[in-house]
Structure 1
């Protein structure tokens, strides 16, 4: 059932950014114990949840919508979001399904490989009738990923939520966040991940996802192709090199910040949380923002990401506004 909650004066709260999709546990490798066995640390994760926390830590009013299991992990995830002051009215804990788990191995360069326990995970079982409409209908930016497109009923629920939010004036944000092991094959992934693009206002992809999402070989052409399909702002993350941003005025690369990389988990999510935070504070629609302004927002996002990768885990490593401002001043 959809939940209706209002403020004491009878008005609905308005959120700067609401994110929808997977919330899960990242069991992140911590090296080997004295017996040579891998040690894993439990970290809260899931790209949409990471984005909500990243933006919230910077000062945005954020909410998360999705489903986890009513188990020790789901309870833990809800407590983490509450602690980070992300509204959890739209987070459902379901007794019938287990919280999705992701086992993450990190190499010496800080790069990750994933193994998922999700057959099915609770995040894939969310129905449109379960959505909290008083969150969905009152958000300035509505952000989704592509992991909610891998299975039904979450796929149909994602499209329903995006269309409803857009009809209510929300800016739609999308980060495909490709995870090959969660799809039947690459062609299926392409089909479903691309199907959401016509509904999107702002989109982020990594340089590794450019060809998958656009058939283009280079970053500039890929971003231009996304905008040709209706996206107003396209950003392509370039790892330590920063990010490329494209809008109707053209595009440019915005360099990253030097940082001591410990763990890249959550790097792209922290970047996007920072970027969306800046968009939310502008009070403007995406097509009203100049390339110069967007480049400033990308630089801000780069600073957020450069701090995130210096800590372990995604959510625990998200910086606050004071830390980001200090990094920007260097």
Structure 2
């Protein structure tokens, strides 16, 4: 059994890491892609994980496959395709570590996964099936994701959804809103950022946005609030937990680090994930906030995910 199986993008984040002698930006090759980041974060704490997706059969694809293996993420569901190139994201950071993106994805390998290539065994054998929204931007990956979601529902899996809005990858905002909202019906648990509340629900305030998602059938809604911490709402209670101050270097992967920590906590539960208490919810938010805080103090996504030792040291300070 796997604790978490994720489907979606696996790509290279080219992250700035200084200037050359000629005054040109130097970019560092970092493995990334939100679903893979989530698995790496959860796996660092001991979760058993598996990935479903596609990369090119090229130098970047080989590097990404080896990275998944290094983080003990099952790669049986990873397709390597000679006909397409591994997706690349170039990240620009401002003085606060906040990001803007430029993508080489026309098409990128992640958008070319077909439903016939989805490894259903990895879904059948997991506790939690996790997905993001970037697979919805293009076909055939959209068809592959919807097929996987239908199968996960049939198998009564806990379905986790983390929408990840990247304006450059959509034809326009209206299409993005429609597609990202249409799949909420599959989700049992969700994580949205404070920047995505209005996009997903029409409500800007985290409390109202979370309430709207609960009304649509989501059981647990987590909202990340950047440096302000995070928020959790269930049908029975809501909690907000503040973050500790961090030395922000790069915010890439922070939300994924947070969500990987939450999914790890939910997967290790003996009781139903839908029966968490207010006390447990508070502990989960503190755990996940600390995980995200460690991530932003490093460059990149997967390499910046906290180890259990790092987390235990930080959480007790």
Q: TM-score per shorter chain, which class?
A: over 0.9
SS in 1 for 2:149: helix
Count of equivalent residues = 317
CA distance in 2 between counterparts of 1:278 and 1:222 reads 24
1:195 to 166, 182, 185: 182
Does the alignment pair 1:186 with 2:180?
A: no
Partner of 1:9: none
- Residue of 105, 108, 120 corresponding to 1:121: 108
- Return 5+ residue gaps in structure 2 as ranges: none
Tell whether the 8 Å contact from 2:239 to 2:281 is kept in structure 1 after alignment: no
Structure 1 residue 304, shift from structure 2 partner: 0.6
Measure, in 1, the Cα distance between the counterparts of 2:298 and 2:204.
Answer: 33
The Cα of 1:257 is off from its aligned counterpart by 1.9
Asked if the contact 1:27/1:102 (under 8 Å) is kept, the reply is: yes
Partner of 2:51: 64
Residue 15 (structure 2) pairs with residue 28 (structure 1): yes
Q: Which residue of 2 aligns with 1:142?
A: 129
Answer whether contact 1:62 1:86 (CA < 8 A) is retained.
yes
Deviation, structure 1 residue 281: 0.7
Q: Does structure 1 conserve the Cα–Cα contact (< 8 Å) formed by 2:120 and 2:148?
A: no
Tell me, what secondary structure is at the counterpart of 1:64?
strand
Equivalents in 2 of 1:162, 1:297: separation in Å? Answer: 26
Equivalent-residue separation in structure 1 for 2:205 and 2:178 (angstroms): 20
Equivalent of 2:32 in 45, 52, 61: 45
- 226, 230, 236: which is aligned to 1:243? 230
Question: What's the counterpart of residue 215 of structure 1?
Answer: 202
Partners of 1:274 and 1:130 in 2: how far apart?
28
Query: RMSD across aligned C-alpha pairs, in angstroms?
Result: 0.9
TM-score by length of 1: 0.94
Report what 1:224 is aligned to. 211
SS of the aligned residue for 1:277 comes to helix
2:245 maps to 258
| SS in structure 2 at match of 1:208 | coil
Give 1:176's match in structure 2, choosing from 163, 174, 180.
163
The runs of 5 or more residues in structure 1 that have no matched partner are: 1-13
Aligned position for 2:141: 154
Contact 1:249 1:290 in 2 (8 A): no
Q: What is the SS of the residue equivalent to 1:265?
A: coil
1:169 to partner: Cα distance? 2.3
Query: CA deviation digits over 1:86-138, x for unaligned, max 9?
Result: 11110100111100000001111000000000001111111111111221211
Query: How many Å separate the matches in 2 of 1:261 and 1:207?
Result: 18
* Secondary structure of the corresponding residue to residue 195 of structure 2: helix
Q: Distance in 2 between matches of 1:187 and 1:288?
A: 35
Q: 2:304 aligns with which of 304, 317, 323?
A: 317
- Assess if the C-alpha contact under 8 Å between 1:140 and 1:169 holds in 2: no
Q: For residues 148 and 84 of structure 2, what CA distance do their matches in structure 1 show?
A: 22
In the alignment, which residue of structure 2 is the partner of 1:112? Answer: 99
